[in-house]
Amino acid sequence: MPEMISLEEARALVLSHAAPLPVETVPVLEAVGRVAAADLKSDIDISPFAHSAMDGFAVRAAELAEASQEAPVELDVVAEIAAGDVFEGSIEAGQCVRIMTGAPMPDDADSVVKYEIVDVVTGDGKPGSRVAFSAPTAVRSNVREAGEEAKAGETVVSKGEVIGSAGVGFLAGCGIVEVPTHRRPRVAVISIGSELVDPTVVPTPGKIRNSNSYALAACAQAAGAVPVILPIVEDTKEALAAAVSAAADAYDFVVTSGGASNGDFDFIKPVVSELGELLMTTVNIRPGKAQTFGIVRGTPVFGLPGNPAAAYVGFEMIIRPALRKMQGYAHFERPSVMAKLSRDVKKKDPRRIFLRGTLYKNDEGEYVVAPAKNQSSGLFGVIQRSNCMAILPEGLDSRTAGSLVQCVLLDVSEEVSL
């Protein structure tokens, strides 16, 4: 039987058995939040032409070199260019063109003066009007140049880069409407327990609703995977073996909850051992000491405890990194900060303890963490109201209010470096 190992060893073990899944091509909109599996190149210059950055007047900067409040330079407005139009005429000395945001720059103009600082002398500012400029303008002022953001053939999103919502727009502008990315892992979620009933059922005495499957499926979905909640499995070795065997053949990753300890009805360890290779049974953390991991016919199978907090901690700290690796992500650990404890915390267990809590800044701008008063591993509500987990290292050293502890941020992406 594998011995109890550290969290770092557990994470490394599971990561070593996870690999990026095959590449698929998806519509660009479906690529948001996913990892590019190849360099993506623009088919044109972005922007394909020099254009105005604002509504104003396209001018020759040299004509306004002597402009001032006392001696403004007046020019005739000879044309108007809207976005999508092209001006093919010429601009003579003493002339300018009214131009809208995004409209192509005329060949004879080299600067744009914004509309709000130009005085209309006669007319309404449109063609046929005369306008006055009271200050010089720099060459190429308020002009977005052709190819300013990307050149044709240039890589605009690199392999391994996570595509954000702005990136989707950038890719679309570069003519990229399909994106190669690693397939999302399909995760089978199985709750074990003869006492469980579906959430739609009002429990009778001795029964409880199957909430773990929904929480773990939500965790898998938040990690970018595609969860599938499978039927509840009763507390028999035969039923569990059949369910795990079928799931290992049909899915990329199998997550069970319940039956992970050493009780008379805890069968996940022997089932994984008999169906495949059992690699891990306990991790030196609390909550969540009982963490079963093994490989069944090439598929990772992870057995989480039945207590909600224990299952959640195990998923966040060990399973989530593996699911991210399967999608091609390069970062596997949530960011953390050091924060002052808001109150004394006694430590009676030598394991590494994860306290659910709320992180905030005090009036001095310092991070403070308030551990939830009720740290029972059987509660979901405490996790819902927490934004971090405060870590008490291995050993029996208690902490007093004001002590600094490491806090893992639960609502910040792994890509963020703090």
pLDDT at 263: 65
Tokens of 1: 């039987």
Label residue 417 by pLDDT band (50, 70, 90).
confident
Q: Among 213-217, 257-261, 338-342, where is mean pLDDT lowest? A: 257-261
Q: Answer yes or no: are the C-beta atoms of 359 and 330 closer than 8 Å.
A: no
> From residue 261, how far is each of 215, 216, 313, 314 by CA, in Å?
20, 18, 16, 14
CA dihedral 94, 95, 101, 102 (to 10 degrees): -110
Residue 224 has pLDDT above 80, yes or no: yes
Average pLDDT over residues 124-133: 97
pLDDT at 266: 81
Classify domain 23-43+152-180 at the CATH topology level. Molybdopterin biosynthesis moea protein, domain 2 (3.90.105)
Average pLDDT over residues 344-357: 96
> From residue 410, how far is each of 6, 81, 279, 320, 333 by CA, in Å?
21, 50, 27, 12, 10
**Domain locations in the chain?**
5-21+182-325, 23-43+152-180, 49-142, 334-407
Residue 294 has pLDDT above 90, yes or no: yes
pLDDT at 347: 94
Alpha helices, DSSP H only, in 230-314? 237-250, 268-275, 308-314
- d(C-alpha 179, C-alpha 162), whole Å: 12
Residue 54 has pLDDT above 90, yes or no: yes
Average pLDDT over residues 344-348: 95
Nearest residue to 289 (alpha-carbon basis) of 310, 269, 306: 310
pLDDT at 264: 58
pLDDT at 418: 84
pLDDT at 256: 97
298 burial (CB, 10 Å; 0-12 / 13-18 / 19+) is: exposed
Residue 265 has pLDDT above 80, yes or no: no
- d(C-alpha 122, C-alpha 126), whole Å: 10
Average pLDDT over residues 161-166: 97
Architecture of domain 334-407: Beta Barrel (2.40)
pLDDT at 259: 75
Average pLDDT over residues 313-340: 97
pLDDT at 312: 96
pLDDT at 3: 84
Question: Please, what is the average pLDDT of the chain?
Answer: 96
pLDDT at 1: 52
Residue 163 has pLDDT above 90, yes or no: yes
Residue 339 has pLDDT above 80, yes or no: yes
The string of DSSP codes covering 81-135 is E-TT----S---TTEEEEE-TTPBPPTT--EEEEGGG-EEEETTSSTT-EEEE-S
CATH number for the domain whose boundaries are 5-21+182-325: 3.40.980.10
Q: Answer yes or no: are the C-beta atoms of 278 and 303 closer than 8 Å.
A: no
54 burial (CB, 10 Å; 0-12 / 13-18 / 19+) is: middle
CATH number for the domain whose boundaries are 49-142: 2.170.190.11
The string of DSSP codes covering 319-362 is IHHHHHHHTT-S--S--EEEEEESS-B----SSEEEEEEEEEE-
